[in-house]
Structure 1
Amino acid sequence: MSDHAAQTILAEATGHARAGRYDDARRALADLADLGEDAEALDLLARIHTQQGDLAAADDCWARVQALDTGHTGASEGRRRIHRIWSGTRNGSARSIGVGVAVLILVGAGAVAGQALMSEPEDRPADQGVADELDRLAGAVDALEPEAAPETESTEDTEAALQTAQQALVDPRWTAEIQGRSIAVTFDDSLFPDGGTDLPDSGDDLLADAAARIGSLEGASVTVVGHTNDIPTGDGSRYEDNTELGLARALAAAESLAAAGELQLPEIHIATSGDDDPPYPNNTEADRRRNQTVTLTVTLA
């Protein structure tokens, strides 16, 4: 297989994974003849296994990445985090989360390897609140069961269902755009204060309305993706970096969606892109404020 063909397949698999189509992503990666010798593909496959709750398979993939590239940051960080989850579970410190979420660390549009994985601070102690949140997330990942493969349907039926769902999601406070086999919901205004994760009442109300729309769609699930602007977290922040801040925002928004009562718990997943791939360009103060938010990726069964 040529390098160009392999990169095309890898890009296709990455697109599926970012849209929440993990089984499609795995099928695309299976077309790589030299999957076992491709560190980037194995790294992506490890992240997909993590999202689907198969941490043992993820750890195995990252071990194979390390055998190919001993300095691979994503693999070492991924395995460290998995072993931390296992250790926390054995010690009873990993707690169940309030919503049935799965955690996926999203990478930037042009990257596959693990620059977006969260790292622990080396020169200052971790804030206990952040540690508690990470333990809660760890419990959610550890408890997650792999998702069943969806039944296939015709392209025509899929497009019609997506168009119907898009129309049901139309609202002047956000945009709903079909992207591949899912619908991306982008809010017009910011949901969170600068550097923070506390939702104001207006944010809770907005998410409750979004939950009602999504909950009315048959077979719909939603991935909540946390975002930040391009300003790094400061020394006084509870969060080590924008990846971690984005994850905390996704968690807060997911809890708000679940509290609205319109979505079943297994239908909500969370992810973070940190300051990668923001909804709006970070070239004005107004758009930087708007990037203090989450986006919603709605997928139909």
Structure 2
Amino acid sequence: MSQETPMLLATRELALAQARTLARLGRYAEAEAILADVRDDGAPSVALLDLLARVHAQQGRLEEADAEWAEAERLAPGTPQIAEGRRRIARARARRTTRAAWPAVGAVSAVALVAVVLLIVPDSEDEKDAPAPPPRPSPRTADVLAEMNLRVPGAVVRRSGGELSVAFEKGLFRDGVRLSRDGRAVLTALGTRLRPYATRVSVTVIGHTDGRAVPPGSSYATNTELGTLRATVVREFLHDGAGIPTSRFTVSSLGAASALDQGGSPARNRTAGLRISAVGQG
């Protein structure tokens, strides 16, 4: 069995956090796509299988959910939440087999699935969003930017006045609001560098898109909405990876006006930029 590096493990954990955030927002297709990418990277973990099962259950895909839970159960026999999920699936299946009661099955199954929905994110996950204590005053607050070293592969960092700007050499997103593997890796590395300063900085995240109009039938009404959602995904990723309180982030987008490359490859514009300043500065 190959050994997984700490960086790979950290990247997977943050990918799970991103998928969990998207699932909370009801964006199950994006959450499932991220989980599929993580699964392709290596042997699936119990946490990945459990979350994927819950996403499938919320979409009404009971057979797939049960298969994921069965695989998780083989890896971790006796896990209470997995056993409970499988029991709910079994009850829903049993009701489906009663043809005479078919009109009531939809409502009964929905009740079972709502119960599964309540289990998608354990209560302990919510503790991550608890307000962080205010930072202790420090005479070195104004020097925090000079202390920071955010130069990681794939990121371009510049200082201008009282803030650091961070751009990325490649687009962070594969499509829509789904981070690429390279995007997750560079954000993971950046989060590690930011963590020691989590209570001393504020971060503005600017989501970018290309200059083309959003086509009819798209999941996003406008480029501004798409750019803002991309900024939100990056915010959540860095919140989990760096421990920066959500209240210290600002997300924004200028939509099509934010395109970095008006005539080039759309991939260049599937990204976000950061502006980092010391708390109370700029």
TM class by shorter chain equals 0.3 to 0.5
User: 1 or 2, which has the higher helix percentage?
Assistant: 2
TM-score w.r.t. the length of structure 1 is 0.43
